[in-house]
Amino acid sequence: MNDQTAPIPPLDISELDGDWTHRADVVVVGLGAAGLAASIEAAERGASVIALDRSGGGGTSANAGGIVYLGGGTSTQIGAGLADTTEEMQAFLAEALGRPVDDSRLAAYCSGSIEHHDWLVDHGVPFEPAFWPEPGMEPPGTEGLIYSGGEDASPYRERHRPVARGHVPATPNAAGWFLVERLRNALEATNAQILVDHRVERLVVDGGRVVGVTVKADGQTISIAADKGVVLACGGWAYNEALLAEHAPKLLEISWRLGTDGDDGWALRSTQALGAAIEGMDVMEVAVPLTPPREVVRGVIVNGNGERFINEDTYFGHLGQSILAEQEGVAWLVTDEPRYVVNRMGMRAENVCETWEELATEIGVPAERLAATMAAYNEAAARGEDPAFGKAPEWVAPLDVAPFGAIDLRVATILYAGFPLGGTVIDEFARVVRTDGTTVRGLFAAGRAASSLALARYCSGISLGEGTFFGRRAAVEALRD
Ligand SMILES: Cc1cc2nc3c(=O)[nH]c(=O)nc-3n(C[C@H](O)[C@H](O)[C@H](O)COP(=O)(O)OP(=O)(O)OC[C@H]3O[C@@H](n4cnc5c(N)ncnc54)[C@H](O)[C@@H]3O)c2cc1C
């Protein structure tokens, strides 16, 4: 433990210097997607709200793709002709994220998903009821639905009917800025007080209950009382290198950590001082931008031993996580002449050779192994099958027309984008949970300030989905308390 990782002790109310500077029912720390949703919900329920951000607001959310994981039969899904049920969504997410299917937080998220979709729409975030067939990435147009967690790929497609649940707000390409802009407009239409360039420094407690915060602004320290609750929506710890080194060191190897300076672990450290439980600290999202276009997955991905380890048509987050965490950061996509394609990032097969053995030597993997891998793959592919990893038949074809080439997927050489998903445990009401199972009165967390629903693997759209969903729940619960 050091000065970047140590718990940040709360201030006891008796240590406050004078009276509170401001007072509100609900104080929301951070104005990214989670904080905006919490602030709107509280203000629209008639509470007085002070919403603070250490910068101008928007956070990582404003830089995001904007995919929101929703389902169960939203009007956007129905409009696009896609059937879904809450039970199917919950069963899929339980397996994909690595949570028990009866987990109360997951159950709340799934059963509340249609209502949450409608709330977003009502607050100015439209989704076009149209399916875009390229998974994982925001469409170049305004189509509102994509596969965003490997729903149409093995091992899920065999066990769960593939359903597109990645809801993308109706603006071309990355939509995070649009989501934030619309929610910010909705917040500004309430009587919530928005304080930017206000950095929360300490939680204030009174007899174990969180009753406010201290804040640094314009070189002054002020204090704000929260009569009903404080909602932590101030991001995660992607930019706290000491915490990463301790809990998720692989993330220090990738080229792009997704976050802002605000992801400094302040919420994690402050809740630790109150005895909060943590979970999933080594879980991460790590995306490798191999697709679009999906056609690229007709190639075969091998590790440093020249062996396959995954179905190439999987969600690119599973691929990235697997290469980083299980394949020592080394992978190549090998392909043949008819399957040659340049992807959206401009990645293309290089090291052009006439045989698999020559290609293996070029890229530094064992020649006999790669040749054997390709012989086995091609033998089954001639029947349209991939018995080893279950790649969907539409992407399976023998790779047997020279020249052959390889796309470099090594972590050290190409862009990998990721962020940590672990953090402070919350319950289904977004209350901060202690290690003994009790909750901290007056304290709530949402978004990356809390641990994710994703406890093993990620699906795109979960972060904005759970942030906005549990941000709203935090507001409701604070006002009920
Ligand atoms: C390129 C990119 C694409 C992505 N695509 C997607 C996607 O499509 N779907 C998805 O679900 N996720 C996506 N993500 C991840 C997602 O954007 C984040 O995980 C999510 O936005 C976190 O939201 P949040 O509200 O918890 O935090 P943030 O949006 O980061 O907001 C936190 C706010 O708190 C403020 N803050 C921090 N500390 C303090 C303090 N002490 N006092 C006051 N204010 C403070 C910060 O300034 C910040 O404005 C993407 C991320 C990136 C970078």
Residue 417 is predicted with a pLDDT of 96
Q: Ligand 1: does its nearest atom lie under 6 Å from the Cβ of 89?
A: no
Arithmetic mean of pLDDT over the chain:
97
Residue 351 is predicted with a pLDDT of 86
Q: Is pLDDT above 80 for 301?
A: yes
Q: Are 320 and 286 in contact (CB under 8 A)?
A: yes
Write the ipTM.
0.99
DSSP string, 201-253: EEEEEETTEEEEEEEEETTEEEEEEEEEEEEE-S--STT-HHHHHHH-GGGGG
What average pLDDT does the segment 412-421 reach?
Answer: 96
Among protein residues, the one whose CA lies closest to atom 19 of ligand 1: 463
Q: Ligand 1: does its nearest atom lie under 6 Å from the Cβ of 471?
A: no
Identify the residue whose tokens are 């992407």. 395
Map out the domains of the chain with their CATH numbers.
11-63+177-285+417-480 (3.50.50.60), 68-173 (no CATH), 289-408 (3.90.700.10)
Residue type, 354: E
Q: Are 256 and 387 in contact (CB under 8 A)?
A: no
Q: Ligand 1: does its nearest atom lie under 6 Å from the Cβ of 233?
A: yes
In a mutational test of the pocket of ligand 1, which residue from 27, 41, 52, 61 has the highest number of ligand atoms less than 8 Å from its CB?
Answer: 61
User: Percent of the chain at pLDDT above 90?
Assistant: 95
Q: Ligand 1: does its nearest atom lie under 6 Å from the Cβ of 452?
A: no
Report pLDDT digits (tens) over 380-409.
999 999 999 999 999 999 999 999 999 999
CA of 218 to the centre of ligand 1 (A): 24
Q: Is pLDDT above 90 for 233?
A: yes
What average pLDDT does the segment 84-99 reach?
Answer: 98
Residue type, 104: S
Strand blocks (E) in 115-167: 128-131, 143-146, 166-167
Among protein residues, the one whose CA lies closest to atom 48 of ligand 1: 59
Kindly report each contact of residues 433-437 with a partner whose C-beta sits within 8 Å and lies 24 or more positions away, as own/partner.
Answer: 433/276, 433/277, 434/274, 434/275, 434/276, 434/277, 435/275, 435/276, 435/277, 436/275
Q: Is pLDDT above 90 for 321?
A: yes
Among protein residues, the one whose CA lies closest to atom 4 of ligand 1: 64
What average pLDDT does the segment 264-290 reach?
Answer: 97
Q: Are 110 and 72 in contact (CB under 8 A)?
A: yes
Q: Is pLDDT above 90 for 78?
A: yes
Report pLDDT digits (tens) over 138-174.
999 999 999 999 999 999 999 999 999 999 999 999 9
CA of 188 to the centre of ligand 1 (A): 19
SS3 119: helix
What average pLDDT does the segment 248-266 reach?
Answer: 97
The Cβ-side half-sphere exposure at 207, using a 13 Å CA radius, reads 0
SS3 60: helix
Q: Is pLDDT above 80 for 481?
A: no
CA of 461 to the centre of ligand 1 (A): 12
Distance in angstroms (rounded) separating the CA atoms of residues 120 and 138 = 18
Among protein residues, the one whose CA lies closest to atom 21 of ligand 1: 61
